[in-house]
Each structure stands twice: as structure tokens, then as C-alpha cells.
Chains A and B, each alone.
Chain A
Amino acid sequence: MTRTRTPGISRRSTLALMGAGAMSVAAPWVARAQAKTIKIGMPTILSGRVAQLGTSSRNAVMLEVEKVNAAGGLAGRQIEMVIRDSKGQPQEAARVARELVNTDGCELLLDGEASSGSFAVHEVARDLGVLCIHTCSEASSLTADPKQHIPNAFRCVRQGIHDSIVGGSYAAAIAKTKGLKKWATCSPDYAYGRDTTGEFTLYLKRFAPDVEIISESWPKLFQPDYTEVVTKILQAKPQALYSCLWGGDLTSYIDQANIYAMFSQMEVFAVNMADYTALTVVKNLPKGIHSGNRYIKTFPTTPENAAWGDAYKAKYNEYPTNWSWQNATAVMFLAEAAKKANSADGKKIAETLKGLTIKCPFGADGTVTMRGDDHTLVGYAIGWGTTIPQEPYVPEVKVGDWKTIFELEAEWKKSKGYT
């Protein structure tokens, strides 16, 4: 019996076409998996008033990526950074993050956003399932709040609650010694500003119960003029002021407060002051501002930290910033996790990152840990001191104790219903 061929497409052709179709659809993933290089996307702020911080994040990442690539790359794959400007706008940060993964083929994300943008990028990471390491946002809730938690996101950044525990106890000791009972606050009106100020005052009052907050100011982020805020604080006549303004906002504020002689009328605690980005830009830096350490190459006082600061300066002709060390540490974590997992796959790296401890120039004891239960960085050097207007800017730093931080943080998490 002779089988006659029916007109049209044969079964074999159909299967071949389906196969080709499937191959063409799967091609980007196959190609991506087999690619020698691994693309890491990084949305960060490269324009506007905090561009210096975004640029310093990029610089630090590139400094470390060069080292990783020279040592063989991420599990044998050379890293190619794809860095885009989010302009500091949350919607733009989310759009850029999505585009980096979907269009540019990035397999991992380093989220170099301030808190205003990091929550938006976090949602993109949740949606796409890509490994994301937040490298700049200090708002505690980003990783402390279980509702925010996703298995593929980590935070390699100092955290507001840690700073506040150390800062609150430091400030309370000074408040008791100098009798500073009336306090004012002035912080930017967004998640980081609200969270951090609330946490600082919580611990300030815990350690110095007599303290009273008599005035609060919440200027909007990137506000150009603080005159009305400065005069409002002066009217309240506090004995001390806390602020978590940062970057250009902080320098503007200091310039404007300076001409009202505000710094001679009260003790000022500005947690973000001790960072080169502010220390070197303010022309008439007042003496004696209390600040948490951000990045200074003299704290932690180790040769490794000083060498890293000098290497950065040698390459970029300026000192690094707080965002620099955090971004550098994220790359160090990636390299170590990929090495341990023997893979550059995001899921495998995520599994390895949980609880991972690495050697690091910025560690309180020379190491830092990515805590497993909430995916956040612990063990970094943390302390407070007072400024002088020339190097080393913060000559003496009172070191924070991580045992106390852990105890009080656990208590705080419980009080917030996070555990």
C-alpha cells in the first residue's frame, strides 16, 4: 500500500519548526547561561544632588569588580557591570531595574538606591525573582519587616536601627553629662528620615529618660532652602538637635544654619556628617558636631581599611563615601558566595549568602556577616565621635558594641511585631 503525502506541512516539518521556535524563544536564556561574562545590573543615582554618592557607589563597585575579574571572575565568569542612572526617582529606579534584567540580560542586581528608590527596586526583585543586593538603603524596615522579606533580596548596608542604638546611647551619655534635656529633630521626610529619627529618639530616651523632644522638622528630600526650618528650631530653643539629613541636603543645611550661629547655641548630632562627601564639601565646617561614622579611613583603625581608602583615592582622586564601602562589600560578598557555591547562579548564590561571614576591611573585627534570618549586614565597624574641620575629621570614635546592638535590636523587632 502506498502512502500518499497530503498537501501542507508534514509532521516532521512541524516538529522541526516547533523545535526551532522553542530554540529561538529559549535562545536568550541558553545563551545567557552559557555566556562567559555575567552581567550585573546596577540602578543608582548619577545625577542630581546626591549624584556624588551614586558615583562613589559605581567607583567602589568597579574597584572591586576589577579585582574579582583579575582573580578569575564570578565562578569563572567575568563580571560586566551595567550601571544606569535612576535620577533618584523611585519610579525611574524601578523602571531601570526591570529594564536591566529584561532587556539588558542582567542576571543579578546591585541596588544602589537611597531608601526612596530601594523599596521600588525591591518590588521589582520580588516580581522577577532575580538576586538583588541593596547597597545603599538604611531604612530598617527594608529587611527587618517580615512583610518585605523575599528570599532573593539581601541588604549589604549599615542599618538605621544599628546606628540608632549606638547613637542613642552615645547621645544619652552626653545628654546626662551636659544636662541636655530639650531636644529638637530635623530629618528628611521619607522612610529613612522618619524611621531613623524615631529609632534614635527611642534609644536616646531609653538611656536618658529625662530627655524631651520639643520640636520636630521634616523638610522634604532635596529641599533647596532650610531657612524656615533653621529659624523654627531656633525659636524652640532646644539644647540639642538630632538630624539624619545627608549629602547635599546636609551641607546646605549646615551652610544655612552656620550664619544663624546655630552650632554655638546647641549641641548637634548629625549621624551622616562623618563622611568625606560632607566633610570635604562644607567650607566652614563647625567644630564639635557629633556624628556616626560613615566612611572615614581612620575608622576602623586598621591597615586594611586605610589601604582600601588610599587605593580608592589613588584611582579616583577623591576619598570614598559611606555608599562606597557598602557597595564594595556587596561585591566582596558576591565573589565569596560564588566561590563557595561554585556557581554564578543567583539562586545558589542567595542560598550561600545566608549567614555568610567574609573577611572585610570595614568589619568591626575584620569580618562582616550577612545575617541569615533577615538577610542584612551585621558586624561592620560602628561608632560615634565629634568632628574637627580638618583631617582626620573625627579623631576619636567611641566604638559601638555589637552584643548590645543585637540584644536591643531583638527587643526592638519584638516591639514592632517583626518576630
Chain B
Amino acid sequence: MDLDALAGCLSSSACLVTQTTSGLIIGMLLFLVAVGLTLIFGVLKVVNFSHGAFYMFGAYFAMTAYQFTGSFALAMLAGAAGTAVLGLIFERVFMSRVYGADVLMQLLVCYAFVLIFDDVVRLIWGPEFKSMGMPSAFQVMPLFIAGGVVPPYYLLLIGVALSAAIVLGIGLSRSRIGKVIRAAAQNPGMVSALGINTGLIYGGVFALGGMLAGLAGALAAPVRSLTPGMGFSVLIESFIVTVIGGMGSILGALIGALLLGLIRSYGSLGFPLFTEGLMYLFMVIVLVSKPTGLFGKEAA
């Protein structure tokens, strides 16, 4: 425990800028993965334990596209679009068969695919770790804001994730398709009776969730080493975010992810050997005081 370091940081504008930005970066990446997880749960009522694999595929797709094209924009597109297609196929071929099944069955199927997807990555890209490398446009000196250090790439990362959050929030609350998705989440039978293809909606939501996780993987690829199984630790943290925010709540995922990011960032100063523990402790505190999560709805 180093409370002096934490207190020193809180009284320094430079430290506040650096650590807050650091927390936002961690939080925003987590949000992109967690929001897909929470969206799929909210609409499909499936705990998609294989969700981390889409993050992994997004990173590998982006790296491959970048190697072939040298274009960072195409790499991001490949990461997001590739995982969207993968998500759609996965949902239609496999997951659609376990809707309504026992949650244990769903978890087992998903876990089987976690292992299968890891092996697929190993077969295609090999078992050794890879690095995509930072695109030359971002190989620049970091910005110094109020004495704090902020890398330009991380500003892009925060911007993209925040844009995704806004588009998703507005899309689901204001657009017609958003209303249909929310209706399908509440009463799929009624939506189906109105002549709307719920299978298409489910597939679309799964693809959207996969796409967001893939985008997170693609954004992480320039700064994280790529390896089969890399989705697992992200998945665990995303689950924590989802549980803290409330299963099915997009706003909850955003707030939960940001809180977790800030806990990690400031926790590393004040509680360097208990940073991981702080996350779990926070989750326990939230669940004890509000079992449905910060923005979760009580069961009817």
C-alpha cells in the first residue's frame, strides 16, 4: 500500500491527467468488449462465454490486414467487419440451437468454442506471439497536457470507443431498428407475431456484439502482443464490467468499464500489489449493495 503516492498524484495536475487518461484507455477498451456481451445477454438472454474470442479474432484480422495493405483504417475495418461476419455465422449455425436451453448447456457450448477458436488461431497464425506494431502516423511524441502525458493513439482509441457508445445508445433508443431490438428483448413472441423475423434480429445483434469486440481487438493490436487465448483475460474483466453495470445495460457497461479503468489506473499507484483485488472488491461491494448491478433492472 502506498497511499503517499496516491495522495501525491491526486494533488498533481500532471499526474491526474496521465492517470485519468490511462484509466479511460483501459476502460474504453473494456467497454467495447463488455457492451457486446451485455447487448447479447440483454436481447438473446445468452451468457456468451466465447465473447473474448471475437476480441482475439479482431486483433488477428487487423494485424493480417495491416500486413497486407499497410493501411491502419483497413486494419480496423477488417477487425470489425471480420468479427461481425464470424459472429453472424456462429450465431446462426451454433448458438441459435441452444436458445432457451439450460444456462449450463450454453456455457459448456461457449466454452467448447473458446478452446476451438484458440486452436483455430493457433493453426492459422501459429502458437507464438505476434506484434502488429504501431502505425507510423502514431509514432509521434506524446502530447503533454498540464504536464501529463497523453499518447495521440490513445486519444483515437478513446474517441472511437466513445463514438461507438453514442451511436449505440442513440441507435437503440431512437431508431426503428433499435425499438424492434428492444421489443424483441422484452417479448420475442409478440415481435414474431407481428411478422418480424426474430432470427434475423438475433443474428444481427450477435454480429453487432462480435463486431464491437473485434473492434476492441483491432484497436488493441498495435499495443498488445497477440497470442492464442488472449481473449480470456479480457473476457473475465468484461464480465466484471457487465456485472457491475447490470447485465443488459449499455449505460451500465460504459460506467462500469470507466470505473474499472480508473480503479486500475489509480489503484496501481496506491495499491500496487492489490490492483487486481481492488476490481473484485469493487464488484463485491456493488453486488452486495445492489445485486442487479448499478444500472440493472429488478426481475419482474
Contacts and interface: CB of A to CB of B under 8 A. Distances in A.
9 contacts: A46-B127, A47-B228, A224-B233, A224-B234, A228-B267, A232-B268, A255-B131, A259-B139, A259-B223
Contact of B9 (A235, A251, A284): A235
A259 B154 CA distance: 9
Interface in A176-223: 189, 216-218, 220, 222-223
B229 A234 contact: no
Nearest to A264: B141
A223 B264 CA distance: 13
B129 A232 contact: no
Interface residues of A, number: 41
Contact of A228 (B22, B227, B234): B22
Contacts of B107: none
Given A217-B272, A228-B275, A282 B22 contact: no
Given A48-B227, A217-B272, A251-B131, 15 more contacts: A49-B229, A189-B273, A216-B272, A223-B233, A228-B22, A228-B23, A235-B269, A248-B227, A252-B131, A255-B224, A259-B134, A259-B154, A261-B142, A281-B225, A283-B133
Contacts of A69: none
A402 B154 CA distance: 46
Contacts of B132: 283
Interface footprint category on B: 35 or more
B122 interface: yes
Nearest to B234: A224
B225 A252 contact: yes
A55 B29 CA distance: 31
Interface in B127-147: 127-134, 138-139, 141-142
A260 B142 contact: yes
Given A225-B224, A232-B272, A281-B129, A261 B141 contact: yes
Q: Which of B5, B130, B149, B264 has the most CB of A within 10 A?
A: B149
Contacts of A252: 131, 223-225
A229 interface: yes
B62 interface: no
B257 interface: no
A173 interface: no
Interface in B100-143: 118, 122, 127-134, 138-139, 141-142
A52 interface: yes
B38 interface: no
Interface of A: 46-52, 55, 189, 216-218, 220, 222-225, 227-232, 234-235, 247-249, 251-252, 255-256, 258-261, 277, 281-284
A282 B131 contact: yes
B268 A284 contact: no
Given A228-B26, A232-B272, A258-B134, A251 B129 contact: yes
Contacts of A225: 26, 29, 224
Given A225-B26, A255-B133, A260-B142, A235 B18 contact: yes
B223 A256 contact: yes
A232 B15 CA distance: 9
B242 interface: no
A224 B122 CA distance: 18
B225 A49 contact: yes
A231 B18 contact: yes
Interface of B: 5, 9, 14-15, 18-19, 22-23, 25-26, 29, 118, 122, 127-134, 138-139, 141-142, 149, 151, 153-154, 220, 222-225, 227-230, 233-234, 264-265, 267-269, 272-273, 275-276
Q: Which of B122, B227, B267 has the most CB of A within 10 A?
A: B227
B149 A52 contact: no
Contact of B131 (A228, A261, A283): A283
A243 to B, nearest CB: 15
Contacts of A220: 276
A231 B22 contact: yes
A49 B26 contact: no
Contacts of B122: 47
A255 B225 contact: yes
A255 B223 contact: yes
A284 B131 CA distance: 10
Given A234-B149, A259-B138, A51 B128 contact: yes
Contacts of B14: 235
Contacts of B267: 228
A224 B268 CA distance: 15
Nearest to B19: A231
Contacts of B26: 225, 227-228
A53 B186 CA distance: 50
Contacts of A46: 127
Nearest to B150: A260
A282 B131 CA distance: 6
Contacts of B234: 224
B223 A217 contact: no
Contacts of A189: 273
Contacts of A223: 233
Contacts of A259: 134, 138-139, 142, 151, 153-154, 223
